[in-house]
Amino acid sequence: MSRLQEREQKRWLQQLGKQEKRWVWLSVAAGVGIGLMLIVQAHLLARVVDGTLFSGQSLAQHTPLLLMLLAALLLRALLGVVKEWAGQQASIRIRRSLRGLLLNHINRLGPAYTGDQRSGELSSILLEQVEALDGFFARYLPQMALAAMLPLVILAFIFPVNWAAGLIFLITAPLVPLFMALVGTRAAEANRRNFAALSQLGSHFLDVVQGIVTLKLFDRSRAQVEVIEAGADEFRQRTMQVLRLAFLSSAVLEFFASISIAVVAVYLGFSFLGHLDFGYWDAPVNLYQGLFILLLAPEFYLPLRELGTHYHARQEAVAAADKLRELLEATPKAIAGEGAGLDATVHQISLEGAGLTYPGRQTPVFTGVNLTLQRGRIVALVGPSGAGKSSLLQVLLGFRQLSEGQVKVNQTPLDMVGSYAWLEQVAWVSQHTTLFPGSLRDNLLLAAPDASEHALYLALEQANALEFVQRLPDGLDTIVGELGSGFSGGQIQRLALARAFLKDAPVLLLDEPTANLDRDSEQLVLESLQTLCAGRLVLMLTHRRSSMLRADEVWQLENGQLSLLNTDAPEVGGAT
């Protein structure tokens, strides 16, 4: 990453911080209060020691000063709690807002985008990389302001006491951020490599978990264990590199801060001995002034040292911001969720001069497509694998936007309808039906959350699924395993049809609903589909002649062109 890109990432992070700037400034105000209490403590302690050793006063005479010192300590502790709490509040709120923004944008990008991504990598961005911003907002951002303000406040109290000591502080202070930046550049690159390794490891692990059955069938599970072990070890080594650089940064800062404090101590020591006769305003340095300056010397460098301690959090956040911004700046592929909606039941969908080209590709998936779907007619779409049938279906669902032409619903452009209103009118049965962890009842109610018990059983009966559901020990309360484990492909497809019956939508889109089914399961699904399609607007994608039902029209999509194979035929013939 270039310095320009790094500055852009930092500017973006600071823009995010402005969303909760009141919490950030409360943390800064508490930090300034802590600094002022440190100055008060140094003043009171120096007064007590000077009065006791050089003025012959007893500790009892300094009781008011000691009580004030105790009050300053307690107030400092309270301000420390407020500083940490306000910083955490800013971080929590910003990260929560950012996650919501990311989820909304992913929803806006649509299934066509997420289908092209690795789920493990998206999960890593939403979880680990958003969490990596915690230290930046909770500690680094407030500390950056404190590192600029507190040293100036302390100098404002030191210069009136001794200008030479103030000058030493002023000259040595820039050394700390200078070396902090030099070490931090290496840390940023190490963090970036660490995040890349984590994303790759998470994506690979999720792929292995999802394909564990196949891996076991081919006896490759042990080999994948070794691959994961190697990836985990690589991630461990990269994490150790980041920690090594973080500790190195802290050590460098501590070293230069200690050297600077030592220079001040040497100056004061030689001044007490009379070897140095400069730096004071009216009278030579006395014990009170020397103690006051020495007690404030570590506190002068403390904000800079703490900034250095949190600097690796800044570099970690900059590295994470790279992927976060890339996701947020991705161009939406789906139509917008909000829209004007529909005034009437869907009776016609038309594609007019429709063309689709994937980003980064020259050859269009299809072009010049004109197709009209009418309510009450079943249209079958055939074509070889990779011809673009599923892409055309994604366009009709609103998951992808056309490169040219438009889709109209009842003569209204689909992008004006809005995906929220449009998907309420559509029932979609895919060849890869997903059953989610939970009960069968929960899975069915996804289609109609308010459906009654009678409606659930009626939908199951219409889908030819009631027979096997009633045989289950817990019926509709049977718990579904991960990815529908425990149910056959035919049973899952019939449950998908039950969801479609339950939704009772006017538009029915079918994507190879009988793919990968045996003959008996296919026959049951086709019988249910025949009932489901009656009176609806239907588009069915298929390769198999037996799956075409009694199609009114059969269209073929091949080489990016759509052509009519058969019109008004009671049975499909000649299609491949």
Beta bridge partners, 366, equal 356
The per-residue pLDDT for 546 is: 60
Which CATH number, 3.40.109.10, 3.20.190.10, 3.40.50.800, 3.40.50.300, labels domain 348-565?
Answer: 3.40.50.300
Report the C-alpha gap between 352 and 330 in whole angstroms: 27
Report the C-alpha gap between 527 and 473 in whole angstroms: 26
The per-residue pLDDT for 567 is: 47
The per-residue pLDDT for 309 is: 72
**pLDDT tens by residue, the chain, 576 residues:** 566 777 788 788 888 888 888 999 999 999 999 999 999 999 999 888 888 887 777 778 888 998 999 999 999 999 999 999 999 999 999 999 999 999 888 888 888 777 777 777 788 788 888 888 898 899 888 988 998 899 899 999 998 888 888 888 888 887 776 766 666 566 666 666 766 677 677 777 777 777 777 787 778 888 888 888 888 887 787 777 777 766 766 677 777 778 888 888 888 888 887 788 787 777 777 888 888 888 888 888 888 878 777 777 787 788 788 888 888 888 777 888 787 888 888 889 999 998 988 877 888 888 888 999 999 888 888 888 888 888 888 888 888 888 888 899 888 888 888 888 888 888 888 877 878 888 888 888 988 888 888 998 888 888 888 888 888 888 888 888 766 677 887 888 888 888 888 888 899 888 877 776 677 777 777 778 788 888 889 898 877 666 555 678 888 888 888 888 754 444 433 333
95 within 8 A of 133, measured Cβ to Cβ: yes
What CATH number should be reported for the domain whose range is 1-162+302-330? 1.20.1560.10
Q: Burial of 230 by CB count in 10 Å (0-12 exposed, 13-18 middle, 19+ buried)?
A: exposed
| φ, ψ (nearest 5 deg) of residue 483 | 55, 30
Instruction: Write out pLDDT tens, residues 119-136.
Output: 777 887 888 888 888 988
Instruction: Write out pLDDT tens, residues 471-507.
Output: 888 888 888 876 667 788 788 888 888 888 888 889 9
The dihedral built from the CA positions of residue 151, 156, 157 and 160, taken in this order, carries a sign that is positive
The per-residue pLDDT for 314 is: 80
**Residue 441, CB-side half-sphere exposure with 13 Å CA sphere:** 13
Q: Where along the chain do its domains lie?
A: 1-162+302-330, 187-284, 348-565
333 within 8 A of 419, measured Cβ to Cβ: no
DSSP state of 385: T
Burial 283-307 (b: 16+ CB within 10 A, else e): eebbebbbbbbbbbbebbbbbbbbb
As given in the structure block, the two tokens for residue 65 are: 């000063």
The per-residue pLDDT for 572 is: 37
DSSP state of 61: G
